[in-house]
Amino acid sequence: MSRHMEPCGKGRVVPRIVQLLLWMVSVSLISRTCAHNANAPGKDFRRGAWSSLQHPHRTNTKYLMRGFLPVVRGGSDVPGRAVFSATTSSPKQNVASSVTRFSKDEKQASRQEAKEQLDAFLTRDSRQKFIGRVYAILTGQLLVTVLSILTFGLNPKLTWWIMNQAPIVPILSLGLSTVAWIFMCASERARRESPLKWRLLIIFTIGEALSVGFLSSFFTLRSVVSAMTTTAVATLSITLYTLLQKNPKYDLSQWGSGLLSMGIIFLVYGLIHILEVTGVLPAGFLPYSDMIYSVFGAGLFSVYLAHHTRLIVSGKNTKFQMNEKDYVFGAMSLYNDIINIFIYLLRILGEERNN
């Protein structure tokens, strides 16, 4: 009988007893930790922890033991055995265990990554709201302008009455819109303070609408509609190109300095053209000055439209973007570009009325 007991003598019974005790301590710690940290009743997590010990190959960073036991990753190559190195002290048991702890750096990195993802999502959502506000305001401005153009175009007597009874109206409306535009460009308070920016927007829109309507009344309604259609097609094409253009070498948001230089050249050319029209300079001083000036203006403000659209829409390869608080100013910028494109196309395509 003693011979049969020999394989289970002291040399093997004592390690087994120690192993069982370690198992009991491990199970107790797991149960207490899960019951303490979980929102659900502790008995459910004890059942889950016991299942993970019976089937360690199913465990994949599911149970985190704070301060008591390390995180269990992976499993054992022997089904039914745990992966804790403390319980597999026998050299004959070939157990592949991977016991590791989360360091503070890893936790900080994971938190930072989650924060960046949340910030990116919120930024994208707020940018979409900003774009929606800009184009909603722009739509309202264009509707007011179209109504003004149709009102003056269908009522020539209104233009005649203004020219004879109130010639100051077009000059005053153009001056007020210019002052409102300068205030918006120069003052951050004017762009972002709620009551003031809406008042400047209304003054600017009404002034521009009256000026454009009065100017378009000197052309036939057919040519005006033709210029409006051409402007709409050009605006849509430029906007789509700006949205679909993904090449970082052609970042339209960085064209501000170049456009400023072109604008100064355009201004000088316009002054020379005015002096020629008023008779200060002899006629023919600049050959085809009217046509060149109109084509130059339409092209310049088309590029300005693409530049401002990129600043508003932004994107992955965009270096500069418009502040999300400046949605009123963004709409005014696009509106100003579109109106200028329409005016210069009207000068090119328009047919003046005989009367």
Mind listing the pLDDT tens digit for each residue in 277-303? Answer: 788 888 777 777 788 888 999 999 999
Q: How confident is the model at residue 313 (pLDDT cuts 50, 70, 90)?
A: confident
How far apart are the C-alpha atoms of 206 and 202, rounded to whole Å?
A: 6
Can you give the pLDDT at residue 111?
A: 67
Residue 72 sits at φ, ψ, to 5 deg, of -95, 120
How does DSSP assign 278-308, residue by residue?
HTSSPTTSSTTHHHHHHHHHHHHHHHHHHHH
How is residue 285 written in tokens?
């001083």
Answer yes or no: is pLDDT of 16 > 60. Answer: no
Q: Is 100 helix (H, G, I), strand (E, B) or coil?
A: strand
How far apart are the C-alpha atoms of 21 and 161, rounded to whole Å?
A: 106
Can you give the pLDDT at residue 28?
A: 53
* Burial class (CB within 10 angstroms; exposed 0-12, middle 13-18, buried 19+) of 355: exposed
CB-based contact 313:242 (threshold 8 Å): yes
Sequence-distant (≥ 6) Cβ neighbours of residue 102 within 8 angstroms: 71
CB-based contact 313:131 (threshold 8 Å): yes
CB-based contact 347:290 (threshold 8 Å): yes
Can you give the pLDDT at residue 68?
A: 39
Most confident of 116-125, 185-194, 307-316: 185-194
Reported as type and span, the H/E element at residue 149 is helix 104-154
Sequence-distant (≥ 6) Cβ neighbours of residue 151 within 8 angstroms: 158, 213
Can you give the pLDDT at residue 104?
A: 64
Amino acid residing at 250: Y
**Least confident window among 26-35, 47-56, 139-148, 289-298:** 47-56
How far apart are the C-alpha atoms of 78 and 94, rounded to whole Å?
A: 8
How far apart are the C-alpha atoms of 170 and 173, rounded to whole Å?
A: 5
Answer yes or no: is pLDDT of 342 > 90. Answer: yes
How far apart are the C-alpha atoms of 180 and 201, rounded to whole Å?
A: 8
Query: Cα dihedral sign for 116, 119, 123, 129?
Result: positive
